[in-house]
Copies of this chain bind each other. A is one copy, B any other.
Amino acid sequence: MSDKPATLDVVGIGNAIVDVLAHADDRFLEDQGLAKGAMTLIDATEAETLYAAMGPGIEVSGGSAANTMAGIASLGGKGAFFGKVRDDQLGQVFRHDIRAIGVQFETAPAVDGPSTARCLIFVTPDAQRTMQTYLGASVELGPDEVEEDTVAAAQITYLEGYLWDPPEAKAAFIKAAETAHGAGRKVALTLSDSFCVDRHRAEFRDLVDGHIDVLFANEDEILSLYDVPDFDGALQEVRGKCDIACLTRSEKGSVLVQGEEVHIVDAVPVEHVVDTTGAGDLYAAGVLFGLTNGYELATAGRIGAICAGEVIGHMGARPEVALDKLVKEAFG
């Protein structure tokens, strides 16, 4: 453990993305050859072609770890974020939104090169989201953007698996994890997407086994990581590999494991599920806030469920109401 008290709860590192969300039907996904429910990387030309075919949209700041940091700030937690935008209008939107919700964000924008990253998100009538990401300026995030003092000052450094895709971001990831552990802090990872796990399975297994203290994964991702056919098999595999594993199962709720402790936390009922974008990100926000603010593991899981329940009730992956109030109401 560090000998200095932490001044931040969590520092998040991830792709800095503005989401463009539109409704679409399954037929559209088929016609465009999109993998439903997944995150697929696309280049600038593909992004332009797909945007032209997309319905009218709304723009909301996104990015997996950035959404999580927004959630932590909305819960009243102290957080910072590293991620790269361009100095363009969407970059201004990203910077404004993350700061406005209360997250420290000082990464300098790129002054040339590709534009701010965009994720085209197609929301089908079943509230499922299908994401096509143009990484743009976010691929320019590298180790230089990881400020060691900030990482050392945070109880937990939180990393998204998506960082494993751009090579420089992977180097930033490794530097952040080493800095955090060197300062006696903890490192958390979300596996992000089952296709992302497919792309980097061996490396992710090594990471989880040796370097990650808190792991977040949904059912598809954890099955993919251990190449097992059912959830219980994955649960047995992950136990003991990292200190804490938080496994989400959509409407079935989540399972949190720490050594011999196993907690099964129900999902929070939502009257009308509109868009599941950000459900995992906001679940992680609740859990990380709980863990860094003195709550028991099971309570942290319940805070995660409340945050996920809020974000799936509307379009976009950032909270629309103050999450600290929601939690206060729920716990009476």
Residues of A participating in the B interface, judged by any CB pair closer than 8 Å: 20, 22-23, 51-52, 54-61, 70, 88-90, 93, 96-98, 100-101, 115-116, 314-316, 318, 320-321
Contacts and interface: CB of A to CB of B under 8 A. Distances in A.
Contacts of A98: 56
B60 A89 contact: no
Copy count, this protein chain = 2
Given A57-B93, A58-B58, A314-B314, 16 more contacts: A22-B100, A23-B321, A51-B96, A54-B96, A54-B100, A55-B101, A56-B98, A56-B101, A57-B96, A57-B97, A57-B100, A58-B59, A59-B93, A89-B115, A314-B315, A315-B320
Contacts of A59: 58-60, 93
A23 B90 CA distance: 20
A23 B314 CA distance: 14
A218 to B, nearest CB: 25
A93 B101 CA distance: 24
A318 B56 contact: yes
A98 B314 CA distance: 22
Contact of A56 (B52, B54, B97): B97
A56 B67 CA distance: 12
Contacts of A23: 320-321
Contacts of A101: 55-56
B56 A96 contact: yes
A56 B51 contact: no
A56 B89 contact: no
10 contacts: A23-B320, A51-B96, A56-B61, A57-B97, A58-B59, A59-B59, A59-B60, A59-B93, A88-B88, A88-B89
A288 to B, nearest CB: 19
Contacts of A56: 61, 70, 96-98, 100-101, 318
A98 B316 CA distance: 20
A117 B116 CA distance: 20
B316 A58 contact: yes
Nearest to A70: B56
Nearest to A321: B23
Contact of A58 (B54, B60, B89): B60
Nearest to A101: B56
A262 B94 CA distance: 50
Nearest to A58: B60
A255 to B, nearest CB: 31
Contacts of A57: 93, 96-97, 100
Nearest to A60: B58
Nearest to A23: B320
> Looking at A58, A90, A101, A315, which has the most chain B CB atoms within 10 Å of its CB?
A58
